[in-house]
Chains A and B, each alone.
Chain A
Amino acid sequence: MTATAARAPGFWRRNQQRLTPWLFMAPGLLMFAIYVLIPIFESIAISFYDWDGLGEKVFIGLSNYVELMDDDTFYVALKNNVLWLVLYLLAIPAGLAVALFLNQTVTGIRLYKSLFFFPFVISQVVVGLIFTWFYAPDFGLFSALLKSLTGQEIAILADERYVTYGIILAGLWPQTAYCMILYLTGLNNINPEQVEAARMDGAKGLKLLWYVILPQLAPATFIALVVTVIGSLRSFDLVSIMTSGGPYGSSQVLSYFMYEQALSEYGFRMGYGAAIAVVLFLIMMVFISVFIVRMLSQERNA
């Protein structure tokens, strides 16, 4: 044996297998830490202070949270967030229905699919503007329709009773398109012979959908549920563009409330805004934990 071959291999050679994955992950981990992890802890820390963003930070303990518990707007926002969460889920069956409808082979089907997917591609701001015009009294299509049907006009976005529903409906438009795409991909993966086998077995219509198609779409349903729940909780753009939380704060949601308290012309209460953000984060964590646990258990079974 020569001297070179007998020498112990270098540090890199010995640990290459162990270090390589970490090296590949390093850029991602770094970004994730700087832009996600550290800000989470910073927000939690700021929520214990009274701070206008420029001046001296004053530690006030849990005072921000105590104030939040007595804030009527907080409860309006919380109630609206629950409403968003529940009604936003309608995007899932609606997306499934559109996907089932579009899952056929006729000439130009790609064009129709693209058109149905279109609302998801355009900016939420544009969606908000379109629906604002749609609801607008005097010239809005919806108002005109309502007037011809009932004889009276309702200014949806100026009416405390309907404003949140009006915004959620606008949000359902792109969200349905998103769920549709998820389901179309799922439907693509179903073997057509399986559907034929089910027809030979005597299953048709809703029975076919329930027993054969839907169970195989479970992965798509799961993803649709995750993105819809999280999307509903972080609803911000539509509220901001359509009503700015009005009238009289009646269409507030937590994320817009936080922005209003911390970053808008209403004040620069960084500590109070951070406290709202922490509450929203905790609510989201409940759902995210459920999803992650489910995903992990699925991975273990697979």
Chain B
Amino acid sequence: MADVTLKGVTKQFGAHAVIKGVDLSVADGEFCVFVGPSGCGKSTLLRMIAGLEDISGGTLSIGGRDMTNVGPSERGVAMVFQSYALYPHMTVRDNIGFGLKMTGHAKADIDARVAEAARMLQLDALLERKPGQLSGGQRQRVAIGRAIVRKPEVFLFDEPLSNLDAALRVQMRIELSHLHADLKATMIYVTHDQVEAMTMADKIVVLSAGRIEQVGSPLDLYHRPDNLFVAGFIGSPKMNFIKTRTTAAGAGVTVTLPGGGTLSLPAPAGDLPKGEVTLGVRPEHLSATGEGDATLTGTVRVAEHLGSETLYFAALPDGTELSVKADGLSGLRVGDAITIGIPASACHLFDGEGKAVLNGDLRR
């Protein structure tokens, strides 16, 4: 078991910088998830930790030892690939045992460890089959088996669930969480699916354009986003942003709302930002029935009835679009007028550069 530390890690492909200086430490036994939009460099960063991509600058250490220039098989890491990358000509048994065979383990030792891994993953009955005869979920298990049999200090997962159907994905998510609890190994997991990130992670790393935007626990990211990018990326449907201006008012600030209303918020910790600011509030914190510290009126443009909840996409008279999550029984129709209530305690404020100056953390 080991911790993973990256210091000023960069990656260049020719003149093109893909990873622009990443400092990160993942504690021993932690489940760390890298999320970000496609092309943000999350997979590249994972492959650099695996040793499949060279590190252009900075250092990587695993378990306190410098691994920056060590080959992939000597880093004590194992990786599960998006395509599973099973060897199609080998049986499940040979697939799982291949790494041990390559590192020169005795046959009896390999058999024992393969059997143990197969038992953990319920693959016992499938050991003599070839990957082509397995379902997607079973292949996924074999890929995981191939990783755990080597007893690595760190597990790396590259979007492992993206090729599975929705139901299987939920099931595998739970199994992976169980596996993490059983093995107590450090795991680093790359995904673009924020549900996977929120449900499995101890720590989420949000990446964008080769840089870390924020590191924190799932609920920290949800309640206390550092900037507009994280605020917009975490949460579904995404947070509403309203361009506005603020004025100091006694102990707090007053925010002008579209349509002329105002909303009083507590004062930010630092200086009051000048010029245009962005007010952020999540759809699930807005009220479709007008309860709150201020109200906005608009027209329903789209109504999505999901049974358990209803999503309204409303347009305000000045053109601002807001999404509101309402009760499943809410009966508004497209074209109806809607009165949206804003609770001051759930509002976030971002300055002109997109940095958060006020977080409406509802846990307080």
Contacts and interface: CB of A to CB of B under 8 A. Distances in A.
A285 B116 CA distance: 51
Contacts of A204: 73
A212 B146 CA distance: 15
Interface stretch (A9-17, A195-203, A234-242): A195-203
B99 interface: yes
Given A199-B73, A200-B72, A202-B73, A194 B85 contact: yes
Interface in B62-98: 71-73, 77-79, 81-83, 85-90, 98
Interface residues of A, number: 18
A200 B73 contact: yes
Contacts of A207: 102
Contacts of A218: 89
A176 B273 CA distance: 72
Interface in A154-197: 191, 193-194, 196-197
A200 B77 CA distance: 8
Contacts of B99: 200-202
B81 A201 contact: no
Nearest to A192: B85
B88 A216 contact: yes
Contacts of B85: 191, 193-194, 196-197
Contacts of A211: 87, 98, 102
Given A211-B98, A212-B87, A215-B89, A197 B103 contact: no
Contact of A197 (B51, B77, B79, B89): B79
B73 A201 contact: yes
A197 B102 contact: no
A200 B87 contact: no
A197 B73 contact: no
Given A196-B52, A212-B87, A216-B88, A202 B81 contact: no
Interface in A196-235: 196-204, 207, 211-212, 215-216, 218
A201 B83 contact: no
Interface in B287-309: none
Given A200-B79, A202-B99, A194 B87 contact: yes
A201 B73 CA distance: 6
Interface of A is mostly: helix
B102 A201 contact: yes
Contact of A199 (B52, B82, B88, B89): B52
Contacts of B114: none
Nearest to B102: A202
Nearest to A214: B89
Contacts of A200: 50-52, 72-73, 77-79, 99
B313 to A, nearest CB: 40
A207 B99 CA distance: 12
Contacts of A196: 52, 72, 79, 81, 85
Given A196-B52, A211-B98, A215-B89, A202 B103 contact: yes
B127 to A, nearest CB: 18
A215 B87 CA distance: 9
A218 B89 CA distance: 10
B89 A201 contact: no
Nearest to A208: B102
A212 to B, nearest CB: 6
Contacts of A202: 73, 99, 102-103
A202 to B, nearest CB: 4
Contacts of B88: 216
B98 A193 contact: no
Given A211-B98, A218-B89, 17 more contacts: A191-B85, A193-B81, A193-B83, A193-B85, A196-B52, A196-B72, A197-B146, A199-B51, A199-B72, A199-B73, A200-B50, A200-B73, A201-B150, A202-B99, A204-B73, A211-B102, A212-B87
Identify the 3 closest CB pairs spanning chains A and B, nearest first. A202-B73, A201-B99, A193-B85
30 contacts: A193-B82, A194-B85, A194-B86, A194-B87, A196-B72, A196-B79, A196-B81, A196-B85, A197-B79, A197-B85, A198-B87, A199-B51, A199-B52, A199-B72, A199-B73, A200-B50, A200-B51, A200-B72, A200-B99, A201-B73, A201-B98, A201-B99, A201-B102, A202-B73, A203-B98, A211-B87, A211-B98, A215-B89, A215-B90, A216-B87
Interface of B: 50-52, 71-73, 77-79, 81-83, 85-90, 98-99, 102-103, 146, 150
